[in-house]
Amino acid sequence: MATTLSRREFVATGGLALAVTALPTTKRIRRPGDDAAARALAPNAFVEVGTDGQATIWITRSDMGQGIRTALAMIAAEELEADWNKVQIVQADAHPKYGSMATGGSSTVSDLWMPLRKAGAQAREMLIGAAAERWGVPASECRARASAVEHPASGRRFSYGDLVQRAAIRPVPEEPTLKTPAEFRIIGTDAPGIDTRDKVTGKAEYGLDVTVPGMRYAVIARCPVFGGKMAGHDPAKALAVPGVLSVLEVPSGAAVIATSTWAAMQGRRALECRWDEGRAARLSSADLSRELQARADFAGALVRNDGDALATLDGSAKAIEITYEAPLLAHATMEPMNCVADVRPGKCEIWAPHQAPDWAQRELAQLLGLEAEQVTVHTTLLGGGFGRRFITAELLEAAQVSQAAGVPVKLVFTREDDMQRDWYRPMSLHRMRGSVDAKGAVTAWMHRVVGPSIGEQFWPGSTTQMISSNKFDGIDAIDGAADVRYGVPNLRVEYGMTQTVVPLGWWRSVYASQTCFANECFVDELAALAGRDPVEVRRELLAHSPRHLAVLNLAAEKAGWGTPLPAGRARGIAIHHFFSDTVVAEVAEVSLVDGKPRVHKVTCAVDCGVVVHPRNAKYQVEGGVMYGLSAALYGEITVENGRVKQSNFHDYPVIRMPEAPVVEVHFIPSAEPPKGLGEPGLPPIAPAVANAVAVLTGKRVRRLPIVV
């Protein structure tokens, strides 16, 4: 019998029949309001148990490859005492009942750890109560196991499906008893991925997969210069392209509407546009760098001042002053930006791979003059996010195009659109001064952070107000600098804010990717000034923090710090305390091949509290290392005449498989609640590699990307 496979299905399976039996699936037919849902046990917004015994977990955060749909389902299933093979998930649409639905800051598992445990425990206790009532025994004599309730004394047993209707009419316990870590059966195991079957068969839906009846395709011609706008256009040649239906002017430019993405793209290529390039028409990367350099020559707002760093530095016989720089970076997600929008009178429906559907819902409602409940936002899987898909601009554009066209529209970015119309990680400059005493101890540390604030750009006046009122806790640009964990007696941190016309956005680990580079390279430079081993200097600076010291020591031990290496190789180390309260130390083993750094191995030590899914946790650290390594070795967006020069992976390269190092990940055992993991693996890799390169060449790396 012939089997018909789509191209996507064939590519997803590699043309092979894969063994994926006995995996939980994402399929779900029941919806609130239908008969089956009415008979289900649904004590809260997150957990539902049907009369068939299937447990459904509602996923309220976005999965961009980090595996959180599996981790979140595991947390709820653990307290529910569900059979993992009877667990399925549904991606929740935007709704206030779920609280924040924003996926960022490596906060998903830590934010939902207690809500999901409580949700699962509520259902479990209601099911146990229903069984105890039917048996006429105390609930304390019953226990839940693998989607069933047992009465050990009599050997009786009810499946969850048998108990659902009776349990559904019981009161919902406000404070159910939670399991102890010693009782965990699912958490801490490598449970099969909840959506693995769908992904390997091509069934999993990403934004680019979405189609709706009557849908048309759109691309937008936008001014190539930052801050520029359309001055006019002639649609005649575009309309002559087969498949092009119309050209509509929208706030961001001109939208070409067509029957296919190819026709829309060809129509845009033929479209004749006139641009008002504005004041940034001659802007260059050199201009941006000069602005940072000029601002660094003046004191910034004082955000931390322990002891008297300036006096100590001025009076020290052994002091250094170093400047570090980090460039603009693009997100370069594998799936370019896209969104399907269907705007009708009094209604808006959106399908998008987005990191903050609740935020999008509010902004769409405001844009269209609707109430939030009139806007439905469906979240698909994300082909990478890294902070890029926090931005709502593309969703708003799609809604405007659909409204103007009067039909559902899929707005698609090409790779070039994506690279040249990103919301970039900011440039930054770090002016640092430090001193050591005659014994080699670090006596002073001064860090002047210079660069723009993402928060200021999104919410004008917010960072300015914090600076003027001497309240610095919310300033994003000083993350990792103001809260540096080293025990230096005289420590001063300043912030000099600059402004830029370049659109800025949150990039994986945000400012930590810059401040960690400056901090950790600087520690090595101070160690060299003192004539000491950089690990020993860090141990001394972290003596007050057993947690950080344990992570540092584990990384050094597992990497064989101080032991001989093959000729031509060197090790570098870095450690960072991420704002999600995760601590990561990394040791990079590096050589030079044809004058360029080659990273052979990265050894990571991580303290992130309870590890919900060890395999996925390891993958997250590995992914952070690879993403950060791409930036460290290659990443730089440059501007010329107000335009981004890079356009695709040929001039904005990423690490390819032959270049990828071996990555070892070691977790500190912990019973503490889970911390974040999506981003903390990234910040230490650039300084670890840079420090190894300095050992190999005798020259310090002070600017990214690393050039030997």
Grade residue 342 by pLDDT with cuts at 50, 70 and 90: very high
Copy the structure tokens of residue 304. Answer: 């931390």
d(CA 682, CA 629): 8
Distances (CA, A) of 299 to 311, 469, 475, 495: 15, 17, 17, 8
Do 307 and 370 belong together in one domain?
A: no
Domain CATH code at residue 378:
3.30.365.10
Kind of pairing between the strands at 253-258 and 428-436: unpaired
For 531, counting Cβ atoms within 10 Å of its Cβ (0-12 exposed, 13-18 middle, 19+ buried), the class is: exposed
Whether 418 is in a domain gets the answer: no
532-560: average pLDDT = 98
Do 511 and 401 belong together in one domain?
A: no
Q: Which pLDDT belongs to residue 138?
A: 98
Do 306 and 263 belong together in one domain?
A: no
Grade residue 7 by pLDDT with cuts at 50, 70 and 90: very low
If you search the block for the tokens 């720089």, which residue do you land on? Answer: 325
Whether 122 is in a domain gets the answer: yes
374-378: average pLDDT = 98
Exposure b/e, 409-443, CB count within 10 A at least 16 = b? bbbbbbeebbbbbbbbbbbbbbbbbbbbeeebbbb
d(CA 373, CA 375): 5
Q: Which pLDDT belongs to residue 24?
A: 41
Q: Which pLDDT belongs to residue 8?
A: 38
Between vectors from CA 585 to CA 304 and to CA 706, what angle results, nearest 5°? 85
Do 361 and 343 belong together in one domain?
A: yes
261: pLDDT strictly greater than 50: yes
The helix (H) or strand (E) run that includes residue 664 is: strand 662-667
Whether 707 is in a domain gets the answer: no
Cis peptide before 680 (omega within 30 of 0): no
Do 599 and 682 belong together in one domain?
A: yes
335-350: average pLDDT = 98
Q: Total domain count for the chain?
A: 3
Whether 182 is in a domain gets the answer: yes
The 10s digit of each residue's pLDDT in 600-617 is: 999 999 999 999 999 999
Whether 686 is in a domain gets the answer: yes
38: pLDDT strictly greater than 80: no
Domain that holds residue 388: 207-278+337-412
Q: Which pLDDT belongs to residue 39?
A: 77
Bridge partner residues of 561 (DSSP): none
Bridge partner residues of 343 (DSSP): 348
Q: Which pLDDT belongs to residue 18?
A: 30
d(CA 522, CA 435): 11
Q: Which pLDDT belongs to residue 25?
A: 40
What pTM does this model have? 0.94
214-238: average pLDDT = 97
Domain's final residue, options 384, 412, 440: 412
Q: Which pLDDT belongs to residue 37?
A: 53
Domain's final residue, options 159, 180, 200: 200
The 10s digit of each residue's pLDDT in 99-130 is: 999 999 999 999 999 999 999 999 999 999 99
The helix (H) or strand (E) run that includes residue 160 is: helix 160-168
Do 58 and 124 belong together in one domain?
A: yes
What is the average pLDDT score of the chain?
94
Grade residue 1 by pLDDT with cuts at 50, 70 and 90: very low
For 69, the 3-state DSSP assignment is helix
Do 633 and 603 belong together in one domain?
A: yes
For 175, the 3-state DSSP assignment is coil
How many C-beta atoms lie closer than 10 Å to residue 534's C-beta? Answer: 24
Longest dimension (CA), the chain: 85
Do 239 and 183 belong together in one domain?
A: no
35: pLDDT strictly greater than 70: no
Q: Which pLDDT belongs to residue 700?
A: 98
Do 110 and 229 belong together in one domain?
A: no
Bridge partner residues of 449 (DSSP): 430, 495
Whether 36 is in a domain gets the answer: yes
Distances (CA, A) of 551 to 556, 576, 604, 655: 9, 10, 9, 27
Which of these ranges, 35-39, 350-354, 532-536, has the smallest mean pLDDT?
A: 35-39
208: pLDDT strictly greater than 80: yes
Domain's final residue, options 200, 234, 269: 200
Do 504 and 386 belong together in one domain?
A: no
CB 41 within 8 A of CB 126: yes
Do 219 and 347 belong together in one domain?
A: yes
Give percent above pLDDT 90 in the chain.
94
Q: Which pLDDT belongs to residue 436?
A: 98
Whether 372 is in a domain gets the answer: yes
Exposure b/e, 193-213, CB count within 10 A at least 16 = b? bbbbbbbbebbbbbbbbbeee
The helix (H) or strand (E) run that includes residue 304 is: strand 301-306
CB 281 within 8 A of CB 236: no
